[in-house]
């Protein structure tokens, strides 16, 4: 498993989409009964990730939503460490909806404060 610093660096890289009008990216951290999210470019992202890990969370996937022109794209992918796990496909289907909802809510909040 990579370090928290390495994971945050990868998260921030995923948030850079050339030509995108906006991009929201999250690191999906799995817990026993829920998923939590660390947002790219958040000033306390590293601290949040370390706290989640200390509470038993496992960073499992990266997700992003971005807009180029009139097209809005959503992607989610497992971290390299989990790509070949048998359970990852089923987990990703469930995690995709919660990640998408969290990112859309973040986008709504940003638009309201703009």
Q: How confident is the model at residue 98 (pLDDT cuts 50, 70, 90)?
A: confident
pTM, two decimal places? 0.88
Does pLDDT of 84 surpass 80?
Answer: yes
Give the chain's domain count: 1
Show the domain range for 66: 4-113
How far apart CA 28 and CA 6 sit, in angstroms, is: 15
Closest CA to 37 of 105, 99, 97: 99
pLDDT digits (tens, 9 = 90+) for 5-44: 999 999 999 999 999 999 999 999 999 999 999 999 999 9
Q: Above pLDDT 90, what percent of the chain? A: 74
Residue that is written with structure tokens 């991009």 in the block: 23
For the chain, how far is it from start to end, CA to CA, in angstroms? Answer: 38
């Amino acid at each position: 498993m990579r370090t928290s610093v390495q994971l945050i660096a990868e998260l921030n890289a995923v948030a850079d989409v050339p030509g995108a009008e906006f991009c929201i990216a999250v690191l999906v951290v799995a817990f026993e009964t829920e998923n939590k999210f660390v947002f790219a470019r958040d000033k306390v992202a590293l601290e949040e990730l370390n706290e989640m890990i200390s509470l038993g969370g496992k960073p499992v996937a990266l997700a992003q939503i971005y807009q180029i022109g009139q097209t809005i794209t959503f992607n989610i992918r497992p971290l390299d460490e989990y790509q070949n796990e048998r359970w990852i496909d089923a987990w990703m289907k469930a995690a995709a909806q919660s990640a998408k909802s969290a990112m859309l809510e973040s986008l709504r909040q940003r638009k309201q404060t703009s």
